[in-house]
Amino acid sequence: MENSSNFIKSIMKEDLEAGKHDKIVTRFPPEPNGYLHIGHAKSIVINFGLADDFNGQTNLRFDDTNPLKEDQEYVDSIKEDVKWLGYDWDELRFASDYFEEMYNKAVLLIKKGKAYVDDLSADEIREYRGTLTEPGKDSPYRSRSIEENLDLFERMRKGEFKNGEKVLRAKIDMASPNINLRDPVIYRIAHATHHNTGDKWCIYPMYAFAHPLEDAIEGVTHSLCTVEFEDQRPFYDWVIAECETENTPRQIEFGRLNITNTVMSKRKLKQLVDEKFVDGWDDPRMPTISGLRRRGFTPEAIREFVKETGVSKGSGFVDSAMLDHYVREDLKLKAPRTMGILRPLKVVITNYPEDKVEMLEAENNPENEEMGTRQIPFSREIYIEQEDFMEEPPKKYFRLFPGNEVRLKHAYFIKCEDVIKDVNGQIVEIHCTYDPETKSGTGFTGRKVKGTLHWVDAKHAIPAEFRLYEPLILDEESNGEDDETKTFLDYVNPNSLQIIQGFVEPNMKDVKPQDKFQFFRHGYFNVDPKYSTAEKPVFNLIVSLKSSFKLK
């Protein structure tokens, strides 16, 4: 990864210098059983970034060995998300294309006396496996002859047995201190249609057996995975050695990315979708790549964020405010600035001529002159933000209140003269006067005011919907870990989405899905691709302007 060194990069460099490989080959190996989330972005950035550093190669490989949970929809979304993040794979591979080769390797193991067909049930296998403190014991089927095993395994393939009736196990050591080496299951029966191979197979390799073979078949040199696979490494190496593969890939583990106030496992995210806590995998509150995209996060911000979290063995929690920081940085110079009223309050400027409309000039981005200027209409009635008026203000409230004068951004000073209420005492509108001398851009220095408010012209403004978000999960650090009394669903924030109706400037009539803006004094917003229409734009709050987060 550019400019950064890390322990994996050092290993790759040493391996190249020692002549172990001609080039570095990595892979990003998602299982197509859900949409990608920002944790996967870390794996993507690491795998593609490191291979790039050495002019190497990265494959996108679907680890599709479990037909029960996998689907073409997920394959398609994963490809889209990897591309959107800015990466091009060298080769697109499917683990299921290697089923025949994997089957042959399993036969090889049987012939070497290194694998056997077991009739124990899943529960019995677990029982026989022992614990961290007690060794396991041998299955009564462990001593089957090679001939019998070859025959049974072939009949498993032919579909002669039901799901769960038999499995193929590696024959290693039932007393190994590493439980993963106590004769792990390497093939199981699953009568199910596979999204790629259809009904060709009814036996499927287990992940721990399939993965090293996939790596070896593709000539992957460094197989990067997350730390929970560390205890699997001895079995990974066993498979590579005993299956006598041509290539010798090396597994290296790095720490997972965890972010505060979110859950990051496909199982949990799928549950949020299935149980309708959110509006699909791409709901803007989801930590999925498609959700972040719809919310308005940019690939640049996500990549910078992931790089900043670094590559190490540890899996600490990263503050979600850090991601917000990077999207603000990215959009600061790119997003046009504009005015939007989220909670409107009408203001009538009583001394402004009834049918006059004037066009005022406004900069599109004061920090980026190249973005030019626009004309915004101003007339007798405008909307301001409800929170920008108080009838009885506390000390240090510099916005509008009876008798006080404020500046309207790009326009004039106005002074509050009267508050109009309905029969119930609810404020209906505010009456103000304006001072023509104070027009913005004319260099008026006569007097100063402390508050500057944003506004839109009432006659010309476009109605708009704003969708404001809070974190989906209220529990900051445990990632909504399940325990005896609670599951992560008990931590779902009931107020994570707020939908409000307001107004935007008339020149926003042509906004397109995924356009991004900074609404003055509010924050960055994205035009929602699902709900926005030509009649009524819908804006997702990406991040507010203020941040409590400081980069070290």
Q: Pick what 39 binds: ligand ATP, Mg ion, none; C-beta below 5 to 8 Å, kind-dependent.
A: ligand ATP
Q: Pick what 285 binds: Mg ion, ligand ATP, none; C-beta below 5 to 8 Å, kind-dependent.
A: none
20 is catalytic: no
DSSP single-letter state for residue 209: H
Nearest to Mg ion by Cβ — which residue? 31
Q: Where does this chain touch Mg ion (CB under 5 A) — which range of 30-38, 111-119, 254-262, 386-394?
A: 30-38
Nearest to ligand ATP by Cβ — which residue? 39
Taking the CB of residue 274, how many other CB atoms lie within 10 A of it? 8
Q: Pick what 66 binds: Mg ion, ligand ATP, none; C-beta below 5 to 8 Å, kind-dependent.
A: none
DSSP-derived secondary structure for 511-539: --TT-EEEETTTEEEEE-TTT--SSS-EE
256 is catalytic: yes
Q: Which of 320, 172, 142 is nearest to 238 (CA)?
A: 172
Nearest approach in angstroms of CB 121 to ligand ATP is 26
Q: Pick what 43 binds: ligand ATP, Mg ion, none; C-beta below 5 to 8 Å, kind-dependent.
A: ligand ATP
Nearest approach in angstroms of CB 31 to ligand ATP is 4
Q: Where does this chain touch Mg ion (CB under 5 A) — which range of 27-35, 107-115, 223-231, 526-534?
A: 27-35
Helix (H) or strand (E) holding 348: strand 344-349
For Mg ion, give the closer residue by CB, 31 or 151: 31
Catalytic residue among 13, 256, 334, 415: 256
Catalytic residue among 13, 31, 79, 308: 31
User: What count of residues does the chain have?
Assistant: 552
Q: Pick what 399 binds: ligand ATP, Mg ion, none; C-beta below 5 to 8 Å, kind-dependent.
A: none
Nearest approach in angstroms of CB 541 to ligand ATP is 25
Q: Where does this chain touch Mg ion (CB under 5 A) — which range of 29-37, 223-231, 358-366, 501-509?
A: 29-37
> How far apart (Å, rounded) are the C-alpha atoms in residues 83 and 107?
38
Asked if 266 and 288 count as a contact pair (C-beta separation under 8 A), the reply is: no
For ligand ATP, give the closer residue by CB, 43 or 261: 43
Q: Where does this chain touch Mg ion (CB under 5 A) — which range of 23-31, 234-242, 494-502, 529-537?
A: 23-31
For ligand ATP, give the closer residue by CB, 66 or 245: 66
> How far apart (Å, rounded) are the C-alpha atoms in residues 454 and 411?
10
Asked if 501 and 490 count as a contact pair (C-beta separation under 8 A), the reply is: no
Taking the CB of residue 195, how many other CB atoms lie within 10 A of it? 17
- Applying CB under 5 A, what is the total number of residues that bind Mg ion? 1
Residues 6+ apart with CB under 8 A from 58: 25, 26, 27, 28, 47, 48, 51, 52, 87, 89, 90
For Mg ion, give the closer residue by CB, 74 or 161: 74
Site string for Mg ion, 31-70 (x = CB under 5 A): x---------------------------------------
> How far apart (Å, rounded) are the C-alpha atoms in residues 297 and 136?
50
Binding residues vs ligand ATP (CB under 6 A): 29-31, 39-40, 42-43, 225-226, 256-257, 264-266
Q: Which of 191, 184, 188, 215 is nearest to 204 (CA)?
A: 188
For Mg ion, give the closer residue by CB, 13 or 69: 69
For ligand ATP, give the closer residue by CB, 197 or 271: 271
For Mg ion, give the closer residue by CB, 189 or 208: 208
Q: Which of 458, 466, 463, 400 is nearest to 434 (CA)?
A: 400
Nearest approach in angstroms of CB 273 to ligand ATP is 13
Catalytic residue among 105, 266, 294, 380: 266
Nearest approach in angstroms of CB 263 to ligand ATP is 9
Taking the CB of residue 390, how many other CB atoms lie within 10 A of it? 14
Nearest approach in angstroms of CB 80 to Mg ion is 20
Asked if 239 and 169 count as a contact pair (C-beta separation under 8 A), the reply is: no
> How far apart (Å, rounded) are the C-alpha atoms in residues 32 and 95?
11
Residue 417's φ and ψ, nearest 5 degrees, are: -105, -30
For Mg ion, give the closer residue by CB, 54 or 74: 74
**Six token digits for residue 299:** 């690939």
**Six token digits for residue 479:** 């990632």
Tell me which residue has tokens 């476009």.
462
Q: Pick what 225 binds: ligand ATP, Mg ion, none; C-beta below 5 to 8 Å, kind-dependent.
A: ligand ATP
266 is catalytic: yes
Q: Pick what 265 binds: Mg ion, ligand ATP, none; C-beta below 5 to 8 Å, kind-dependent.
A: ligand ATP
Question: Which parts of 159-224 fold into alpha helices (H)?
Answer: 207-218
Q: Pick what 256 binds: Mg ion, ligand ATP, none; C-beta below 5 to 8 Å, kind-dependent.
A: ligand ATP
Residues 6+ apart with CB under 8 A from 427: 345, 389, 391, 419, 420, 421
For ligand ATP, give the closer residue by CB, 264 or 462: 264
Binding interface with Mg ion (CB under 5 A): 31
By annotation, the residues acting in catalysis are 31, 256, 266
